Amino acid sequence: MNTNKKTARIAGLIYFLYFVTHIISDVCRDGLIVAGDAAATASNILAREGLFTITAVGDLVGAALFVLSAWALYVLLKPVNKNLALLFLLLNLGGVAIQCSSDIFLFASPLLMNGSDYLKVFQADQLQALAMFSLALREKGFLISQLFFGAWLFPLGYLVFKSGFLPKILGIVLMVHCFTWVSTFFQSFLFPGFDAITYVSWPLGFIAEVGLTLWLLIMGAKDPKPA
């Protein structure tokens, strides 16, 4: 197997594992959280605290896998343009750092709900409200990380487009997705009631990132032709 194909398939495999870990964690956790109902959310999390903790750990594992996939893509695309490859790697690291920092609030919620002795000064409904507040803070932190996760797509897409050993169309879609995903970030904070942009960004994101992942995993990449 040529060097590029091996590196590409490693990147695709790690990227795929990241998607699986991230999606499973999100789906399982969302099933426990009842929007706007702190008491019901607290009841669900306390009843399945082990599952909730696993989803929090899954978030951190997914973040580590995301960094590793970015590193593998850096190795693959560095020969095309080292500076741009370093740029998308740093943007990825920035997003992951913010996401992991915000994940601490996932661990804070069960601590508040369990009502340890040092929390007896608070009423049960106050603790539930604080736990819900922690989950809301985590969500805001995750949304902030999306600015970096959106921005990294442009240099990544450009290098895919210029590489000569990956499909140009994937590079174009990744670059376009950069703008739609960054727009989603601004929409979330500045225009929270305007969700129309998500109707474009989510399908485009699926095509761009899942398409790249499957191409790397299944097709790999050819070694560049000598000049």
Could you read off the pLDDT of 27-79 as tens digits, one per residue? Answer: 999 999 998 888 899 999 999 999 999 999 999 999 999 999 999 999 999 99
Residue 227 lies in a domain: no
**Residue 144 pLDDT class (50, 70, 90 cuts):** very high
Residue 56 lies in a domain: yes
Do the domain assignments include residue 226? no
Mean pLDDT (whole number) for 184-198 = 81
Domains: count for the chain: 1
In a domain, 224, yes or no: no
Number of Cα atoms under 13 Å in the Cβ half of residue 101: 11
The pTM of this model reads: 0.89
Mean pLDDT value across residues 178-200: 83
Question: Is 30 contained in some domain?
Answer: yes
Domain limits for position 168 = 3-219
Amino acid at 201: S
Check pLDDT > 70 for residue 11.
Answer: yes
pLDDT of 5 strictly over 90: no
Residue 186 forms part of a structural domain:
yes
Structure token digits, residue 46: 């306390």
pLDDT at 2: 65
- Is 126 part of a structural domain of the chain? yes
DSSP state of 150: H
Cβ-contact 139, 103 below 8 angstroms? no
Give the chain's count of helices (H) and strands (E). 10, 0
- Whether residue 136 is contained in a domain is answered as yes
The pLDDT-based confidence of 227 (bands split at 50, 70, 90) is very low
Q: What is the DSSP letter of 192?
A: T
**Residue 184 structure tokens:** 């989603």
